[in-house]
Amino acid sequence: MRSSTESDIDVSRATRWLIASAVVVFACGILAIVLPLTFSLGVAGFLGWLFLFAAVAHLVFGVHLGSGTLAWQAFIAALYALAAINLLVNPLLGVVLLALVIGVVLIAEGIIEIVLFFVLREYRHVVWILIDGVVTLVLGIVACAHWPPAKLGLVQYLVGISFISSGISRFLLGFAIRVMERETPIA
């Protein structure tokens, strides 16, 4: 039987991680706004290397698995390698294409956060999830509506604002959960 101090979730630890992630996301938002092109090129380069490692992993998997899958794994590896080469050799083209992908991701994230609000609406302080969801959805729509971007920094500014909004909402939600935990009497 559980004691009253035990729970399924260690709230203190979970809120520490929530607040830490909020600070990281907020800092990334500031970097995206202050250094939009550098931030974009860094993301494009990072994704290029990830795609290159994924290509190698698919080839290794295909060779070791055998039995007719090598051709398919080689095809997938070639696609990843092509994407990697495009992102590493011509990162500006990658940034333009990433602008559309980021817009779609922001729209999806906004919708998911709005749905999450309705799932958790009986809990206190979840309004921050709704606010973040609406802001993220609007920023995603703006990013997609302005694609291809006339100025490469536009989408990064929108991403920066989204990250800052998410960071603030996560921080406030984590802080609110900690306050609620302290206010809850131990039975």
Convert the pLDDT of each residue in 77-108 to its tens digit: 898 899 889 889 988 888 888 888 888 988 99
Identify the residue whose tokens are 């802080």.
175
pTM for the full model? 0.69
Give residue-wise pLDDT tens across range 2-51: 444 444 567 777 788 888 999 999 999 998 899 888 888 888 888 899 99
- On whether the CB atoms of residues 41 and 98 are closer than 8 A, the answer is no
SS3 content of the chain, % helix, strand, coil (to 5): 80, 0, 20
Inter-residue contact 174 to 15 (CB < 8 Å)? yes
- Give the number of C-alpha atoms closer than 13 A to the C-alpha of residue 115, restricted to the C-beta side: 6
Whole-number average pLDDT of the chain: 83
Q: What does the pLDDT look like over 139-166, one tens digit per residue?
A: 999 888 888 877 767 777 888 888 898 8
The 10s digit of each residue's pLDDT in 130-141 is 998 999 999 999
Looking at the predicted structure, is the pLDDT value of residue 170 above 80?
yes
